[in-house]
Chains A and B, each alone.
Chain A
Amino acid sequence: MNVLKIATAGSVDDGKSTLIGRLLYDTKSLTDDKLEAIEKTSKQKGYDYLDFSLATDGLVAEREQGITIDVAHIYFSTATKSYIIADTPGHVEYTRNMVTGASTSQAAIILIDARKGVIEQTNRHFFINNMLRVKDVIVAINKMDLVDFSEEKYNAIKADFEKLMAKREYQDQKITFIPVSALKGDNVVNKSENMEWYKGQTLLEHFEDLDRKDIFNVGTPRFPVQYVIRPKTDEFHDFRGFAGKVYGGELNVGDEVVVLPSMTKSKIKDIYFYDKKYKTATRRSSVTITLEDEVNVSRGDMLVKVGDLPTIGKEFTATVSWMDSDKLTTGKKYVVQHGVNKVLAKVDNIHHKINPDYSGVHAAINGLEMNDIAQVTFKLNKPIFYDSFKDHRTNGSFILIDPQTNTTAGAGFIN
C-alpha cells in the first residue's frame, strides 16, 4: 500500500491539531474508546463541541497548556493509501521541528487563520517547506466558519499568498488552496455545504489523488552501503552482499557501477531482496547487491552508475538549519553524517544568516543560535560523495553531530 507522509505548519491556535483530529474523525479512524476519551475531556472542560486536538496532543504538558510541544505522528488509512501526518508545533522557536517534519514528508499543509490572513509566520512556514523542497503544498485557509464562509476573504488571502509564491526559490513546488473549517468539518473530508462557490477538491480528495510517482523527488541512483553481509556458512561460503537502500532512481542487474571512493569499476551481479533475486531494485527499496568482481567495499562507500558520478570533495557550502542551544561558530568541529557516512568537519566560514521569511539576509554575524538558518562552508578530513540538495534530496543533505554531547545539532542542504 502507498504511504504518504504529510507535515503540517501553522501558528499556535491556527487549528493544526483540530484539523488532524477532524481528518481522523471523518475517515472513521478514531476508535470508540479514543472518541469516548475525547468526549469525556471536552465535557470536563466545558466545551460545546468536541475538541479534536485531544486526539493528538500526547504529553501531559501539552494537554495542560493546550498546545503541541513536540512533533507527533498520527496514522490513518483509506482504501487507497496509508497516511502519516506530522503535527509540528508552529511557534517561532520551533523552526527546528518544522524542518524535521518537512524533511521526511512528500506533502505539507500550511494553515492560515481566515480571520488573520497571511501573517509573518506564514512566510516562515512557506519558506521552510520550500527550502526543504516538499513537492506538494496545500494552503488550508481555516476557520472559514468565523468569517461567514466569505469568498472575498478567501480570495484576498489567496492573493496575498500568491505574492509570497513569486519569491520562492523552488518554483516547481505545487501549491493548492483550500478553504476549510477544521472544527465544523467543511472541505476536510466532506464537501462544504456552506461554500458552494468553492469548486475544488476537499483536503482528503486532493491527497487521495496524489500519485506515488508524483510524490518523490527523482534524481540519479545512489546506493550508500550500510552493511556488508558475509554469512560464512558452507552454503554461502563466498557470498559478499552489500546491503543498503536505493535512492534517487533504480538499479538493474548488469548495470556498470563505480565504487566510491576507490573508483573501482564492476557490474551488478545479483539484486536480492530476502532470499529472492530480482532484475530491478526500485527507488527506496532496501536490498542486497552482489558484484561481478571481488572489490573492496565497506560501510560508507557508495555504488553509482558509470558516467553518473556525484561530486567528490573535502569542502562544501550548504544552507544550515541550526537546532542546538550551543552556538555554531567559525573554527568549531562537528561530525558530518551524510547518509550513513561520517566524517569530521570544521566550520570554515559563516557567510550570512538568512531570514526564513523572505525579508533578506544578515551579512555580519558571529555564530548561529538555535533556529538560525545560514550559508556555511565546511572543510572535511575525508572526502564525501554528494549531490546538490536541489538535484538529490537524500544525497544532498546531512546532519551535524556535536562530538561533545553527541546530539544532532543541525541539518544542512548542500548548494
Chain B
Amino acid sequence: MEIAEIETTIKNNLVKVDTNALESEAIYILREVAAQFERPVLLFSGGKDSITLVRLAQKAFWPAKIPFPLMHIDTGHNFPETIAFRDKLVKELGVELIVRNVQDSIDEGKVIEETGKYSSRNMLQTTTLLDAIEEFKFDACIGGARRDEEKARAKERIFSVRDDFGQWDEKKQRPELFDMLNGEIEIGQNVRVFPISNWTELDVWSYIEKEEIEIPSIYFAHKRNIFLRDGLIWSAEDDVVFRAEDEVVEERWVRFRTVGDMSCTAAVLSHADSIKKVVAEIRDSKISERGARIDDKRSEAAMEKRKQQGYF
C-alpha cells in the first residue's frame, strides 16, 4: 500500500463510517424485521452464513442485545464441532436458543426416515421447521440463504411471504422497490427474511476475514477419513453417511464449504488451514458451493420443489 493510501485508510476509520452497501443493507433489513414483526426468530444452522447473520444482528442493535431468539433445527446429523460452536456462541451473546429435533418428528411418525445410498434428513427438516413455527407463532424467520447459491433462490425476495402451510408461491411474490419492505401479513402466515440475499459466497468469506469472526473448525483444512462417490468426497468418520462395502476409506486433507446435514454435505480437498487461505481458495475456485450438495443434484429443479414445500 502507498503511504497516502494508508493515511486515508486510517483517517476514514476514525472519521467516516466504515461500511459497504451489502453490510448496511443487511443491517437495515434486520432492523425492519425487529420493527415490523411481533415474533421474529433467527434460524441458526451453525454454518458460516448464519454466523455472519448473527454478527450483523449484533451490529444492528448494539448496545442492546439481539431482540429475537435463535432457533436451530437439528437434524441429528450435525458435525459435532458445529453444535459445540453453537452453544458457546449463544452463551456469549446472552440470547435465547431454541432447538427442535428432526429425530422427534421421526419418532412421532410425522416423517419417515429415508433409506439407501442417498438417504438424507435434509428434506425432513421442513416438517420440523413448520411445526416449530406454529408452536412458537413465529411471524418472521430470518435465514442466511443467498441468491447466488442456486437458480431458484435467485428469484427469491428479501421478505418472502409463506402461506399457512409454509409454502412458497413463486408466481405470487410481492415486488420489492427501492429499500421498502412490505411485511404486512395475515394471522397464520409468516415471512422468510433473507438479509444477505445479495451477498456472494466470496462476500461472506471476505466479511468473516475482515471482521475476524470465529467459525467452526471443519471449515478449515484437517485430516479426515473419507471415501469417494460420484466424484464427491464423503466423511467416513461418523455413521451418518451410508457407505457401501466396496467404497474404500482413505485419509486425506479436506475441509467443508458448507456445513449442512452431514449426510448431504461433501468435503473438498484442501490445505487451506486459515481464513486467509480459505478466501484465496474460494477466489480461485472452479466449483460452485452447492456443487458439493447432493440434495441439489437430485434434479435440475430440486431446490425450487423443496422451496414450494416450505423448505428454507
Binding site for B on A (CB under 8 A): 1-3, 31-34, 37, 56-60, 63, 69-75, 77, 82, 84, 96-97, 99-100, 103-104, 226-227, 229-233, 235-236, 239, 241, 243-245, 271-275, 278-282, 284-288, 299, 323, 335, 337, 339-340, 393-394, 397-399, 401, 406-408, 411
Contact B60 A243 (CB under 8 A): yes
Residues of A within 8 A of B28 (CB): 226, 245, 286
Contact A287 B32 (CB under 8 A): no
Residues of A within 8 A of B19 (CB): 273, 282, 285-286
Residues of B within 8 A of A226 (CB): 28, 31-32, 35
Contact B182 A73 (CB under 8 A): no
Contact A337 B182 (CB under 8 A): yes
Residues of B within 8 A of A280 (CB): 15-17
Contact B180 A278 (CB under 8 A): no
Contact B179 A33 (CB under 8 A): no
Residues of B within 8 A of A96 (CB): 175
Q: Given A33-B291, A243-B60, A274-B58: A72 and B184 within 8 A (CB)?
A: no
Q: Which of B153, B177, B185, B206 has the most CB of A within 10 A?
A: B177
Give the Cβ gap from B184 to chain A, nearest Cβ, in Å: 4
Residues of B within 8 A of A2 (CB): 21
Can you list 10 contacts pairing A with B, beta carbon distance less than 8 Å? A59-B151, A59-B155, A73-B154, A73-B198, A97-B175, A236-B63, A245-B179, A278-B17, A286-B24, A287-B17
Closest-by-CB residue of B relative to A245 is: B28
In-complex Cβ contact of B65 among A231, A274, A279 (8 A): A231
Q: How many residues of B contact A (CB 8 A)?
A: 62
- Cα distance A51–B288 in the bound complex, in angstroms: 19
Q: For chain B, residues 18 to 59, give those with C-beta under 8 angstroms from any C-beta of chain A.
A: 18-25, 27-28, 31-32, 34-35, 58-59
**Mask: chain B, 162-200; 1 = CB below 8 Å from A; 0 = not:** 000000001101111111101011100000000001101
Q: A-B pairs with the 3 shortest C-beta distances? A: A58-B151, A286-B27, A406-B184
Residues of B within 8 A of A393 (CB): 178
Contact A243 B31 (CB under 8 A): yes
- Tell me whether B4 is interfacial, beta carbon within 8 Å: no
- Tell me whether B87 is interfacial, beta carbon within 8 Å: no
Give the Cβ gap from A389 to chain B, nearest Cβ, in Å: 11
Residues of B within 8 A of A245 (CB): 24, 28, 179
Contact B35 A340 (CB under 8 A): yes
Contact B155 A70 (CB under 8 A): yes
- Tell me whether B134 is interfacial, beta carbon within 8 Å: no
In-complex Cβ contact of A32 among B17, B148, B153, B286 (8 A): B286
Q: Which of B22, B58, B63 has the most CB of A within 10 A?
A: B63
Q: Given A1-B20, A323-B175: A58 and B152 within 8 A (CB)?
A: yes
- Cα distance A337–B288 in the bound complex, in angstroms: 38
- Tell me whether B14 is interfacial, beta carbon within 8 Å: yes
Give the Cβ gap from A396 to chain B, nearest Cβ, in Å: 10
Binding site for A on B (CB under 8 A): 14-25, 27-28, 31-32, 34-35, 58-65, 147-148, 150-155, 170-171, 173-180, 182, 184-186, 197-198, 200, 202-203, 206, 285-288, 291, 300-301, 304
- Cα distance A335–B21 in the bound complex, in angstroms: 28
Closest-by-CB residue of B relative to A31 is: B288
Closest-by-CB residue of A relative to B21 is: A3
- Cα distance A73–B16 in the bound complex, in angstroms: 30
Contact B200 A82 (CB under 8 A): yes
Residues of B within 8 A of A227 (CB): 31, 34-35, 61
Contact B170 A59 (CB under 8 A): yes
Contact B155 A286 (CB under 8 A): no
Contact B170 A399 (CB under 8 A): no
Closest-by-CB residue of A relative to B296 is: A33
Give the Cβ gap from A401 to chain B, nearest Cβ, in Å: 6
Residues of A within 8 A of B286 (CB): 31-32
- Cα distance A222–B122 in the bound complex, in angstroms: 45
Q: Which of A82, A243, A282, A286 has the most CB of B within 10 A?
A: A286
Residues of B within 8 A of A408 (CB): 174-177, 182
- Cα distance A339–B62 in the bound complex, in angstroms: 23
Residues of A within 8 A of B176 (CB): 100, 104, 408
Closest-by-CB residue of B relative to A407 is: B174
In-complex Cβ contact of B291 among A31, A58, A74 (8 A): A31
Contact A82 B174 (CB under 8 A): no
- Cα distance A56–B32 in the bound complex, in angstroms: 29
Contact B35 A299 (CB under 8 A): yes
Residues of A within 8 A of B202 (CB): 77
In-complex Cβ contact of B177 among A37, A99, A279 (8 A): A99
Residues of A within 8 A of B59 (CB): 273-274
Contact B287 A239 (CB under 8 A): no
Residues of A within 8 A of B287 (CB): 31-33
Residues of A within 8 A of B58 (CB): 274
In-complex Cβ contact of B175 among A72, A82, A100, A398 (8 A): A100
Give the Cβ gap from B8 to chain A, nearest Cβ, in Å: 14
- Cα distance A32–B231 in the bound complex, in angstroms: 13
